[in-house]
Amino acid sequence: MNTKKTLIHPYIPNSVPEIKGKMMQEIGVDDIDELYEDIPDFLRFKGRMNLPDPLLSEYDLKRHVNELLSKNTTCQESISFLGGGCWQHYVPAICDEINQRSEFLTAYAGEPYEDHGRFHALFEYASMMGELLEMDVVNVPTYDWGQAASTAIHMATRITDRTEILVSETISPDRLLIIQNYCNPLLKIKIMKTDYETGKIDLGDLEDSISNETAGVYFENPSYLGCIEDQGSKISSISHDNDALCIVGADPLSLGVLTPPSNYGTDIVCGDIQGLGMHMQYGGGHAGFIATHDEEKIVMEYPSRLFGIIPTVVKGEYGFGDVTYDRTSFSKREKGKEFIGTAAALWGITAGVYLALLGPQGMQDLGKLILQKSQYAMKRLSTIDEIDILFNQTAHFKEFVVDFNKTPKKVSKINELLVKKKIFGGKDLSKEFPNLRESALFCVTEVHKKEDIDKLILGLEEILN
């Protein structure tokens, strides 16, 4: 590869001239270029790729990348109150240990023999999610919540043979963009109103909007703005009365303390598992789940891989395999359900490890801790004259909206001043929810100590006074 001297790149063993020569001799060519004879000359790239000189030594590469990484300031170096789709939770050491194991990290698509462990671990992931959700079917993870919701919606339209979906107004706006693109142009997404007194769904508007064209009603619990939607049973009843499905996007970390959506009549539950043992990774740690009851007509509409437990010829030995593989686009191309490919399996395995570590008590403790810490933050924040907590009468989980409209300062300015105090303030909602004007979405989890919350209060008091 190097014309000046023979330099063999450590990633390319057969660059060694002697080996290369032997192999070329074996296939009867004098020049590797001969192997490209089928590419017409006019399609051969004649220019020069303008790429930086390579950092051939691992040391130089490490110096270079570390220099870039050092330009980042992390949520360990500052206190962060950012959530809104990606959340800072504690990641147990064993989660990292397992997802960095060479075998899991570098396996791909082996058969259920040599990759038995992959199938086993993902079956267990689905099984533990099934317990958390009280659902009997859970998919091998898809890309993220946005995709999970999009697919849940498509499934509902296929199951009901209808094309319209009602989506709650207080969904993550980014997620809505994903859904809208995925559903365009075949499905119609209609927004159902939020009651801005309570932050919950406006049931009257739901009743007015739902019709015999509605395939499903999708809402999130807790909502994007952190409110616990406690009208789930009514929403699912209204949906079912109209022969539509009820679809809920749920935060799995809330389900140690909140009743699972299946208990209030939900047909399809979806959401993100990033909080279950994945670091935030600047948004790189997402994976989406979809869960349903075990009814054939529903199961047959999943586009995802579904791993099932089966016997082997040896009594008592557990094996695994693909349930109804013929549903998938791997089997049927465009005639399969939506499409399937590589997504986020490693994060599924990791979420399984997380759930196994936390266990029933851990999930309850976690939920309770998040409730206590976020309630404490809300309470302390509400003591600052210049700000209000929106939807204060409604119960929240993890996230809540802080209203800064009484101060002359914009959220962007307040956040800028907070950064100087090594605090990342809440996510600015002024563009996402213009009706809330200068408001911010704050997120408080088990990682926040009292002193962190107190620092935020002090910082805000200094900025606002």
Partner 1 sequence: MSPVKNMKVRNFHQAKWDEPIIFELGNKGERGILLPEIEKEIEAVVGDGVSKIPKHMNREQAPFLPEISQMQVLKHYLRLSQETLGADLNVDIGQGTCTMKYSPKINEIFATSPKITELHPSQPISTVQGILEIFYKTDLFLREISGLDQFTLQPASGSQAILTMSSIIKAFHDYNGENTQRDEIITTIFSHPSDAAAPAVQGYKIIDIYPNQEGLPDIEALKEAISDRTAGLLITNPEDTGIYNPHIKEFTDMIHEVGGLCGYDQANANGILGIARAKEAGFDMCFFNLHKTFSSPHGCGGPSAGALGVKKELIKFLPVPLVCYNGSEYYFDYKVSHTIGKVRSYYGVVPAVIKAYSWIMSLGKEGLEEVSRIAVLNNNYLLKKVLEIKGTSAPYAKGHHRIEQVRYSWNKLTEETGITTEDITNRMVDFGFHMWSSHHPFIVPQPFTLEPTESYSKAEIDEYIAGLTKVAEEAYSNPEIVKNAPHRSVVHKLITDSLDDPDKWAITWRSYLKKWKNDRI
Site for partner 1 in 180-219 (CB under 8 A): 180-182, 184-186
Binding of partner 1 at residue 458 (CB under 8 A)? no
Tokens of 365: 């403790």
Q: Residue 240 Cβ, how far from partner 1 at the closest point, in Å?
A: 18
The reply to whether 98 sits near partner 1 by the rule CB under 8 A is yes
Closer by beta carbon to partner 1, 181 or else 212: 181
Interaction with partner 1 in 234-253: which residues (CB under 8 A)? none
Q: Which of 197, 212, 243, 310 binds partner 1 (CB under 8 A)?
A: 310
Task: State the DSSP H helix or E strand holding residue 414, giving kind and residue range, or none if neither.
Answer: helix 411-420
- Choosing from 156, 270, 427, 438, the residue that interacts with partner 1 (CB under 8 A) is 427
CB of 168 to partner 1, least distance (A): 17
On the CB side of 87, CA atoms within 13 Å amount to: 29
Q: Which is nearer to partner 1, 133 or 387 (CB)?
A: 133
* Cβ proximity of 291 and 137 under 8 Å: yes
| Least distance from partner 1 to the Cβ atom of residue 208, Å | 25
Contact 153, 165 (CB under 8 A): yes
Q: Looking at 344, 387, 411, 429, which residue binds partner 1 (CB under 8 A)?
A: 344
Q: Which is nearer to partner 1, 36 or 197 (CB)?
A: 36
- The residue among 177 and 458 lying less far from partner 1, judged by its C-beta, is 177
Q: Partners of 268 in the beta sheet?
A: 247, 292
As a whole number of angstroms, the distance between CA 419 and CA 78 comes to 8
User: Of the ranges 83-91, 240-248, 384-392, 400-408, which one interacts with partner 1 (CB under 8 A)?
Assistant: 83-91
Q: Which is nearer to partner 1, 12 or 458 (CB)?
A: 12
Among 190, 193, 240, 279, binds partner 1 (CB under 8 A): 279
Question: Can the peptide bond before residue 360 be classed as cis, meaning omega within 30 degrees of 0?
Answer: no
163 binds partner 1 (CB under 8 A): no
Residue in the block written with tokens 């406690």: 230
Q: Which of 13, 30, 161, 465 binds partner 1 (CB under 8 A)?
A: 13
Distance (Å, whole) CA 118 – CA 31: 42
> Measuring CA to CA, which residue among 84, 148, 185, 112 is closest to residue 398?
84
Residues 381 and 457: beta-carbon distance below 8 Å: yes
- 382 contributes a contact to partner 1 by CB under 8 A: no
Q: Site for partner 1 (CB under 8 A): which residue of 108, 434, 435, 465?
A: 108
Rounded CA-CA distance 295/99 in Å is 32
- The residue range among 240-248, 319-327, 400-408, 456-464 that interacts with partner 1, by the rule CB under 8 A, is 319-327
Asked if 465 is part of the footprint of partner 1 (rule: CB under 8 A), the reply reads no
Least Å distance, CB 21 to partner 1, is: 11
Closer to partner 1 by CB, 170 or 208: give it: 170
Whether 228 contacts 367, CB under 8 Å:
no
Burial of residue 128 (CB within 10 Å: 0-12, 13-18, 19+) is buried
Binding of partner 1 by 405 (CB under 8 A): no
Contact criterion met (CB below 8 Å) for 454 and 384:
no
Largest CA distance in the chain: 83
Among residues 14, 211, 212, 382, the one that binds partner 1 under rule CB under 8 A: 14
**How far separated are the first and last CA of the chain, in Å rounded?**
64
Q: How far is the CB of 214 from partner 1 (least distance, A)?
A: 20
Binding to partner 1 (CB under 8 A) within 45-74 occurs at 45, 48-56, 58, 61-62, 64-66, 68-74
Q: Are 344 and 143 in contact (CB under 8 A)?
A: yes
442 counts as binding partner 1 under rule CB under 8 A: no
Single residue of 197, 243, 385, 416 touching partner 1 by CB under 8 A: 416
24: exposed, middle or buried (Cβ count in 10 Å: 0-12, 13-18, 19+): middle
C-alpha distances in Å from residue 179, one per residue of 165, 172, 183: 11, 11, 6
79 binds partner 1 (CB under 8 A): no
Q: Which SS3 state, helix, strand or coil, does residue 28 take?
A: coil
Part in contact with partner 1 (CB under 8 A); list of ranges 85-93, 188-196, 202-210, 239-247: 85-93
Give, in order, the Cα–Cα distances in Å from 11 to each of 1, 59, 80, 269: 12, 15, 39, 44
Exposure on the CB side of residue 322, measured as CA atoms within 13 A: 17
- Print the binding letters for residues 16-45 with partner 1: x by CB under 8 A, - otherwise: ---xx-xxx-xx-x--x-xxxxxxx-xxxx
Q: Is 356 in the site for partner 1 (CB under 8 A)?
A: yes
Among 373, 391, 429, 460, binds partner 1 (CB under 8 A): 373
Q: Give the binding range for partner 1 (CB under 8 A) out of 87-95, 201-209, 236-244, 400-408.
A: 87-95
Query: Which tokens is 266 given?
Result: 């939900």
Beta bridge partners of 428: 440
